[in-house]
Amino acid sequence: MLRIAWLSLAIMIGVTGLVRPGIAKDPNHVPAAKDGYHDPSNRSLESLQKPAQALNAFPHDRLGEVNWVQTLDKNLIAPRADLHGKASMKVLNQDIVMTNTKTMPHVRFPHATHTRWLDCSNCHPKPFLPVAKGNAITMDAVLRGQFCGACHGRVAFSPFICERCHSDVHAGSPKKWW
Ligand code: HEC
Ligand code: HEC
Ligand code: HEC
C-alpha cells in the first residue's frame, strides 16, 4: 500500500513537472531584490517570474547554463532580426579552423552559429579583422575578456567549457573527452 502511494506520488510529480532538472542549478541566479536593478521595497516584485523558472524547459550545458544553440535549433525560441519582426538575418555558412592551440583540439569557429544572432559589424573589423589567421588570439586574452571573451563568459557560453570551442581533435591532442 505504502509502496503504491509512493509510486503514485512519484508519477504525479513526474507528470506535473514539479521536479525538473535545472531549476535548482542556475549558477548565475541573483534574487531580483538584490540585483541592484529592482526596487526591493516594491511588493509586486514577487509576481515576477524567476529566471530559473522561465529558463527551466530549455536545454542546459554541463555547467548548468542554458545551451542557447540547442534552444534555437529546437525552435524553442524565435528571436526577431529587427523590432518589427520583418527583417531576416544574413547567415554566413563558413567555419574557420584555428590551429594555434598547442595540445588542445583545434578551435572550429562557426560563422553560421554566430550570424543567426549577430550582424557582421558586431565582430568586423573589431574585435576581428575579417582575415583567417589575421588576428593574434591567445587563450589568455580570451579569458581576460578580449576577442572571443568579449562575449563568451558574458553573454554567450563560458570559456570554461573548453570543448565547445576546441572541438576539432588532431594528431597531437587528446581524443574526444566529451
Ligand atoms: C570561446 C572559445 C574558447 C573556449 C571556450 C576555450 N578556448 Fe582556448 N582558445 C580559443 C582560441 C580562439 C584560441 C586561439 C587559437 C588560434 O589562434 O589558433 C585558443 C587557444 C588556446 C590554447 C593555445 C595556447 C594559448 O595560450 O593561446 C590553449 C592551450 C587553450 N586555448 C586552452 C583552453 C582551455 C584549457 C580551455 C577551457 C578551460 C579553453 N581553451 C577554452 C578559444 C577558446
Ligand atoms: C562572432 C564574431 C563574428 C561575426 C558575427 C562574423 N565574423 Fe567573420 N570572422 C570571425 C572570426 C573570428 C574570423 C577569423 C579571424 C582569424 O582567423 O583571425 C572571421 C573571418 C572572416 C573572414 C575571413 C575569411 C577568410 O577565409 O580569410 C571573412 C571574409 C568574414 N569573416 C566575413 C564575415 C561576414 C560577411 C559576416 C557577416 C555575415 C561575419 N564575418 C560575421 C568572426 C565573426
Ligand atoms: C559578439 C559576440 C561573440 C563573439 C565575439 C564570439 N562569440 Fe561565439 N557565440 C556567441 C553567441 C551569442 C553564441 C550562441 C549563444 C551561446 O551559445 O551562448 C556563440 C556560439 C559559439 C559556438 C557554438 C557552440 C555550439 O555548441 O554549437 C562556438 C563554437 C563559438 N561561439 C566559438 C567562438 C570563438 C572561438 C570565438 C572567438 C574566435 C567566438 N565564439 C567569438 C557570441 C560571440
Range of the domain at 97: 59-178
Q: Could you tell me whether strands 107-110 and 95-98 are parallel, antiparallel, or unpaired per DSSP bridges?
A: antiparallel
Lowest mean pLDDT among 52-56, 64-68, 81-85, 141-145: 52-56
- For residue 154, what is the domain's CATH number? 3.90.10.10
Alpha-carbon radius of gyration of the chain = 21
Cα gap 112→127, rounded to integer Å: 18
Q: Domain check: are 66 and 106 in the same one?
A: yes
The reply to whether 94 and 25 lie within a common domain is no
What is the pTM (predicted TM-score) of this model? 0.87
Domain boundary (40, 57, 74) is at 57
Residues with CB under 6 A from ligand 2: 90, 92, 96, 98, 109, 111, 114-115, 118, 120, 122-124, 128, 130-135
**Cβ of 157 less than 6 Å from ligand 3:** yes
Give how far Cα 148 sits from Cα of 115, 126, 133, 152, Å: 14, 11, 14, 6
21-30, 62-71, 102-111, range with the lowest pLDDT: 21-30
pLDDT at 145 exceeding the cut of 50: yes
For residue 85, pLDDT over 80 is answered with: yes
Q: Which residues pair with 98 in a beta bridge?
A: 107
Give residues with Cβ within 8 angstroms of 97, minimum separation 6: 106, 107, 108, 109, 168
Share of the chain above pLDDT 70, in %: 84
Q: Please tell me whether residues 114 and 177 are part of one structural domain.
A: yes
Q: Which residue has the cell 526577431?
A: 80
Instruction: Check whether 26 has a pLDDT greater than 90.
Output: no
Q: Are the C-beta atoms of 128 and 150 separated by less than 8 Å?
A: no
Domain count, the chain: 2
Domain boundary among 17, 38, 57: 57
156 CA to middle of ligand 3, Å?
6
For 98, the 3-state DSSP assignment is strand
